[in-house]
Amino acid sequence: MRYEQMTEDQQEKMLARLYKRLNKTLFDGKLEARPIWIVEEIDWVSDGEAWAAFSAEKQRFFFSSVINEDIKRLKKKDQIFFLSCLMVHEMVHQYCWFESIDDSGHNEVFRKVAEDHGLKFEFVDGEWKQKGSFVIYAATCNFRF
Ligand SMILES: [Zn+2]
Residue 41 lies in a domain: yes
Q: What is the pLDDT of residue 48?
A: 72
First to last CA, the chain: 6
Interval between CA 138 and ligand 1 midpoint (Å)? 22
Residue 87 lies in a domain: yes
pLDDT in tens, 58-81: 999 999 999 999 999 999 999 999
Residue 145 lies in a domain: no
d(CA 102, CA 118): 19
49 pLDDT band (50/70/90 cuts)?
A: confident
For residue 116, the domain's CATH number is 3.30.2010.10
The number of folded domains in the chain is 1
Interval between CA 91 and ligand 1 midpoint (Å)? 9
d(CA 13, CA 23): 15
pLDDT in tens, 74-108: 999 999 999 999 999 999 999 999 999 999 999 99
Q: By residue range, what is the domain housing residue 87?
A: 3-140
135 pLDDT band (50/70/90 cuts)?
A: very high
Interval between CA 89 and ligand 1 midpoint (Å)? 6
Residue 117 lies in a domain: yes
